[in-house]
Amino acid sequence: MSFVFNADEIFEMALQIERNGENFYRNSASKFKDSEARDLLARLADMEIEHQKIFRGMKSALTAADRKAMTYDPNNEAGLYLASLANTKVFFEKDIDTSKIEGIYKSALAAEKDSIAFYLGMKDLVPSGGREKIEDIIKEEMRHIRILGERLAALKK
C-alpha cells in the first residue's frame, strides 16, 4: 500500500505526536509524589504544548497549493518513510511500566528519538518557510533527550 502525504497531513501527524507526548508526560507526572520528577515531567508536557502551537500556526499558514503539493518523489520514499515512523506510534499506547521513573525516562527517550526521526523526514516535505521552525523543534527534542538522559544517568549512580 502506498501513502502520499501532503503538508497538511504531515502537520496533523506532528500535532498528534505532540499531543501524545503531552498526555504521556502529564499522566506520568500524576503518578509521582517526588516533586523533582513530577515537575520535570510537567515541564516536558508544557514544552509539547508549545510545539503544538508552532505546528498549528504552520499548518494554518499553508496555502491551498501547499495542502495539495508534495515534493517530487516518484517512488514515494518520503511518504513511506513517514508512514513507517507514524506507525511506530511515537508516544502512542505502548506497554510502559509507569510505576518507576526509570521506565518512564527510558520510554520517553525512545519516543523523543522517534519524534526527531519523524521531524527530520518531515523537514524536507514542508514549505521552505517552515523548515527553520521544524529545525528549532528538533533542537528542542534533542534538549529533551539530554535532560532525560541526565536524569536516567543520575538514577544509576
| SS3 call for 34 | coil
Q: Range of 30's domain? A: 7-155
- 10 pLDDT higher than 80: no
The CA angle 152-148-10, to the nearest 5 degrees, is 140
Q: How far apart are CA 54 and CA 114, in angstroms?
A: 19
Identify whether 2 is part of a domain.
no
pLDDT digits (tens, 9 = 90+) for 77-106: 666 666 566 555 555 555 666 778 898 899
Identify whether 145 is part of a domain.
yes
Model confidence at 29, pLDDT cuts 50, 70, 90, reads very high
Contact 117, 41 (CB under 8 A): no
Q: Which residue has the higher pLDDT, 11 or 66?
A: 11
pLDDT digits (tens, 9 = 90+) for 98-129: 778 898 899 889 888 988 988 888 777 776 76
- Pick from 74, 76, 107, 77: nearest CA to 90: 107
Identify whether 13 is part of a domain.
yes
Q: Which residue has the higher pLDDT, 15 or 9?
A: 15
Please report the pLDDT score of residue 53 as a whole number: 93
Identify whether 1 is part of a domain.
no
Contact 111, 90 (CB under 8 A): yes
- Pick from 96, 90, 108, 89: nearest CA to 152: 108
Identify whether 107 is part of a domain.
yes
Identify whether 118 is part of a domain.
yes
Identify whether 125 is part of a domain.
yes
Mean pLDDT value of segment 33-60: 90
Q: How far apart are CA 116 and CA 97, in angstroms?
A: 23
First-last CA distance in the chain: 48
Number of domains making up the chain: 1
Please report the pLDDT score of residue 149 as a whole number: 94
- 136 pLDDT higher than 90: no
| SS3 call for 82 | helix
Q: Give whole-number Cα distances, 93 to 52, 89, 103, in Å.
A: 19, 7, 14
Q: Among the ranges 3-12, 57-66, 135-144, 146-155, which has the highest mean pLDDT value?
A: 146-155
Taking the model in full, what pTM does it have? 0.77
CATH number where 88 lies: 1.20.1260.10
Identify whether 113 is part of a domain.
yes
